[in-house]
Structure 1
Amino acid sequence: MNGEVCLLLKARDAPFRTGDTDAYSSSRANLKKGIRIAKYAHKLQIEEHVDNSDPRRMWQGIKALTDYKHPNFTPSTSGNYFYACFDRDNKETATKAGLPPDDQPHTLYHKCSTLSRHLTL
């Protein structure tokens, strides 16, 4: 639907609300004519896509004819949707476990001297 058809729709609705049958009849005829013109213009645009020798425009025409919409799934998103189906029945809310105040993080340190001594034996 283009802007001209929208204007013709509004022009048709006004006489309908007021009850003017003559104006409503003529506005309906104008709307039908406008829709026919808009469909023809759209048909020419799609044919231009398909008849063109450019493959990109040809595929755009095919997508427009078939109303193909590319899915917005990335691999991470599709994985999220896959695992989310298992959580549907889970009614418990997730809670984050807090660390106790006296907890010390683990530290790693390197002991080269003891390791080299064991390897040389």
Structure 2
Amino acid sequence: MAIFRTAILMLVLLSTMALLAEPRSDTNRVFSPCSDASLQRSDGFSFGIAFSSRTSFFLNNNNSLQLSPCDRRLSLSSSNSQLALFRPKVDEISILTINTTNFSPYEFVGELAMMP
């Protein structure tokens, strides 16, 4: 009887381990931080941080209308802006670092804005 219980327990344990060890894949094929995407557990998601002067996030130097870094009306590419992109997975704790070899975030006395 004890051998039977042990065999059933081992079978349950092995089947549980097989389910936990199943490789999960990233099903999110949207890599742009400015695009919408549906996510599920173990999917990667993209987001970015834009570094630029404060005025470059406003349309036509109008300080009352601040735009998202994803807005095409902004000219961030021509204003010496820098972008850091990240793609962590859902339910994953990540340490995000920015390569400062050729870029110093301290040079931008303006703002940093996050892209959803």
TM superposition score normalised by structure 1: 0.26
Query: Where is the strand percentage greater, Structure 1 or Structure 2?
Result: 2
Q: Greater relative contact order (Cα 8 A, min sep 6): structure 1 or 2?
A: 2
Who wins on radius of gyration, i.e. which is larger? 1
TM superposition score normalised by structure 2: 0.27
